[in-house]
């Protein structure tokens, strides 16, 4: 299991469209992904869960990845949260 603290730099945080993209990305990895904010833990493969965390730009979150491709996955997900949407 890997855990990493990430400061979300997405311009609109995890709002509808970026949240959709993020969840799709999480669904594409084999490992289980948990997104944690203010001690609330959500399954990151769930759009409702991710949106319910209400993550805004600048928020500190924790990514927890557990599974066969965890090392690769955590890199990919961290990268997205740090600079995914740049429009």
Partner 1 sequence: MSRVFHGIAASPGIAIGRAARLERQELKVEKREILSPEDEIERFKQAITKAVTDLEEIYQKTLKELGEEKASIFQAHQMLLQDPVWTSEVENRIREESINGEYAIEQVTEQYISLFSEMEDEYMRERAADLKDVKNRVLAYLTGTNRRQIHEQTPSILVAHDLTPSDTAQLDRKLTLGFVTEIGGRTSHSAIMARSLEIPAVVGIGEILGEVRNGDLLIVDGLEGEIHLNPDPETVARFEEKRERYLQEKEGLKKLVDQPTITRDGHQVEIAANIGTPKDVEGALRNGAEGIGLFRTEFLYMDRDTFPTEEEQFAAYKEVVEKMKGKPVIIRTLDIGGDKEIPYLDMPKEMNPFLGYRAIRLCLDRTELFKTQLRAILRASAYGRVKIMFPMVTTLSEVREAKRILHEIVEEFREQKIPFSSDLEVGIMVETPASAVIADILAKEVDFFSIGTNDLIQYTMAADRMNERVSYLYQPYHPAILRLVKMVIDAAHKEGKWAGMCGEMAGDPIAIPILLGLGLDEFSMSSSSILTARQKVGSLSYSEMKTLAEQALEQETQEKVKDLVRAAGV
HSE of 73 in the Cβ direction (CA atoms, 13 Å)?
Answer: 26
Q: Does 17 bind partner 1 (CB under 8 A)?
A: yes
- Residues written for the chain: 87
Closest CA to 86 of 6, 7, 11, 3: 11
Using CB atoms within 10 Å of the CB of residue 51, give its burial: 0 to 12 exposed, 13 to 18 middle, 19+ buried. middle
Whether 12 is catalytic is no
Q: Which of 57, 62, 66, 85 binds partner 1 (CB under 8 A)?
A: 85
Q: List the x/- string, 25-44, binding to partner 1 by CB under 8 A.
A: -----------------xx-
Which residues are at the interface with partner 1 (CB under 8 A)? 15-17, 20, 23, 42-43, 45-49, 51-52, 54, 56, 79, 83, 85-87
Residues with catalytic function: 15
């Amino acid at each position: 299991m890997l855990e990493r603290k990430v400061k979300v730099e997405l311009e609109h945080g995890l709002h509808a469209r970026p949240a959709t993209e993020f969840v799709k990305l999480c669904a594409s990895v084999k490992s289980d992904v948990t997104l944690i904010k203010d001690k609330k833990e959500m399954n990151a493969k769930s759009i409702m869960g991710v949106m319910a965390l209400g993550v805004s730009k600048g928020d500190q979150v924790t990514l927890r990845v557990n599974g066969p491709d965890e090392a690769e996955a955590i890199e990919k997900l961290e990268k997205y949260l740090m600079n995914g949407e740049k429009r």
